[in-house]
Chain A
Amino acid sequence: MSDTARWRAEVYVSLRPGVNDPQGLAVRDGLRRLGYDEVEEVRVGRFVQVWLTAPDAESAHRRVAAMCEQLLANPVVEQYRFTIEPAER
């Protein structure tokens, strides 16, 4: 399909604010032990890249949002955000 472009989505998934993140706490404590006293808070998440085809950026956006809702994030405990860039064919 010549009118279909290739896109790359970068999806960031993290625990919703208020959900205890013991991994973040452990990393924060580790940074402080290394002398980074300025560290106030750390939260650890997940980074997912998705390559997909879609006719335009808007429909790519719509599809990736649906992927996040259905599988990439668990809306009960996680939030997500993503960016979409044109990818090389």
Chain B
Amino acid sequence: MRFGIITFPGSNGDHDALMAVRLGLGQPAELVWHTETDLSAYDCLIIPGGFSYGDYLRPGAIARFAPVMEAVAREAEAGKPILGICNGFQILTEAHLLPGALLRNASLEFVCDWVFVRVEQVRTPWTNRLKPGQVLRLPIAHGDGRYYVDERTLRDLERNGQIVFRYVDAQGHATSDANPNGSVANIAGVCNERGNVVGLMPHPERAYDRLIGGDDGLAILASVLAVGLELALGRSV
């Protein structure tokens, strides 16, 4: 299954994602420069973390207008699995491919830590190998991770099952102490209505092997292989 990983000026998680896919999953992956306009060669896409365009104006605000983003929007529309990690999540919200916005952490501090997240939705191509309620341990590293939606949109997200991950404690409880950035309803990740586009602040690509501190992220990346299997068998996705 061919993974395309998009590199913007200022991306710094692109090589992490590349290594996670190649070494963790044993799948072919390529970096795709932000000027690319055709992404049809890839079976799924990762928008990696970093500080695209220096986070100028707002994180993700400038990257949203990169030439490659028109192609990303087309592939999202076509149903291709797309995963936005950290800055990639911010870019996807700025591009309106995911609901909400990511604001400065409530603490005003950059947070670099390991957190626990609970899996809330397993019908997405990025979570189908996980169990509802399963708790994963993943690293975070962000200054603007406070997920925000207004109350009405929050109700819509709950009703549509678009909340994919929540920050929890080790026992799986979504407490305020377990919320590292002040996100609304402890939200760590969401998906679009269709479910093919997922964004999250934690870094699954930095947790693909116990040698680097944990391998809980691998199950997220591996979930999408089910789509690759269907493609290989010639079924429609």
Question: Is A23 part of the binding interface, using a Cβ–Cβ cutoff of 8 Å?
Answer: yes
Q: How far is the CA of A74 from the CA of B149 in the complex (A)?
A: 12
Instruction: Verify B182–A22 contact, CB threshold 8 A.
Output: yes
C-alpha spacing A49/B188, complex, angstroms: 35
Q: Is the CB of B101 within 8 A of A77?
A: yes
B103 near A26 (CB under 8 angstroms)?
Answer: no
Most chain A CB neighbours (cut-off 10 Å) among B58, B94, B106? B58
Is the Cβ of A26 less than 8 Å from the Cβ of B108? yes
Cα-based distance from A86 to B142 in the complex (angstroms): 41
Contacts of B101 on A, CB cut-off 8 Å?
Answer: 74, 76-77
The 8 Å CB contact of B106, one of A20, A46, A72, is A20
Interface size on B, residues (CB 8 A): 19
A71 to chain B, nearest CB (A): 6
Name the contact of A19 in the complex, choosing from B61, B93, B108, B148 (C-beta under 8 A).
Answer: B148
Is B128 engaged at the interface, CB distance under 8 Å to the other chain?
Answer: no
Q: Say yes or no for B57: interface residue by CB 8 A criterion.
A: yes
Q: Is the CB of B104 within 8 A of A22?
A: yes
Cross-chain contact A22 with B58 (CB below 8 angstroms)? no
In the complex, are the beta carbons of A20 and B182 less than 8 A apart? yes
- Chain A residues with CB under 8 Å of B105's CB are 22
Which residue on chain A has the smallest CB distance to residue B60? A74
In Å, the complex CA distance between A18 and B148 comes to 11
Chain B nearest CB from A79 CB (Å) reads: 13
Are B108 and A23 in touch, CB under 8 angstroms?
yes
Which residue in A18, A71, A77 is a CB contact (below 8 Å) of B103?
A77
Shortest 9 CB-CB contacts between residues of A and residues of B: A76-B101, A77-B101, A22-B106, A22-B108, A74-B101, A77-B148, A74-B58, A26-B108, A22-B104
Binding site for B on A (CB under 8 A): 15, 18-20, 22-23, 26, 46, 71-72, 74, 76-77
- A-B contacts, 14 of them at CB < 8 A, read A15-B103, A18-B150, A19-B103, A20-B103, A20-B106, A22-B105, A22-B106, A22-B108, A71-B65, A72-B57, A74-B58, A74-B94, A76-B100, A77-B101
Identify the B interface with A (CB < 8 A).
57-58, 61, 65, 93-94, 100-101, 103-108, 146, 148-150, 182
